[in-house]
């Protein structure tokens, strides 16, 4: 099983600029702290996390056909 993380990114503004989605794959044993740090977001236990991005998490299961 893998954890798939998709993070929406943009450069510019609503009328001029680019938008894209970065996709990452993590192992099921990786912690959320590791995931957020890998994405460049700071997680502090006392303050929680402040994320200024749209992030989606999905579970991917490998099935043999």
Which tens digit of pLDDT belongs to each residue from 13-63? 777 888 889 999 999 899 888 888 888 876 665 666 666 678 888 888 877
CA distances to 33, 41, 45, 49 from 6, rounded to whole Å, are 16, 14, 23, 17
Residue 49: what pLDDT? Answer: 62
Of the CA atoms within 13 Å of residue 65, those in its CB half-sphere come to: 0
47-56 core/surface letters (b: 16 or more CB in 10 A; e: else): eeeeeeeeee
Residue 23: what pLDDT? Answer: 93
Predicted TM-score (pTM) of this structure: 0.69
Residue 57: what pLDDT? Answer: 87
């Amino acid at each position: 099983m893998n954890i798939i993380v998709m993070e929406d990114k943009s450069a510019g503004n609503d009328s001029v600029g680019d938008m894209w989605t970065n996709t990452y794959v993590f192992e099921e044993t990786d912690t959320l702290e590791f995931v957020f740090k890998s994405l460049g977001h700071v997680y502090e236990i006392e303050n929680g996390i402040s994320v200024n991005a749209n992030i989606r998490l999905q579970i991917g299961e490998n099935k043999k056909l």
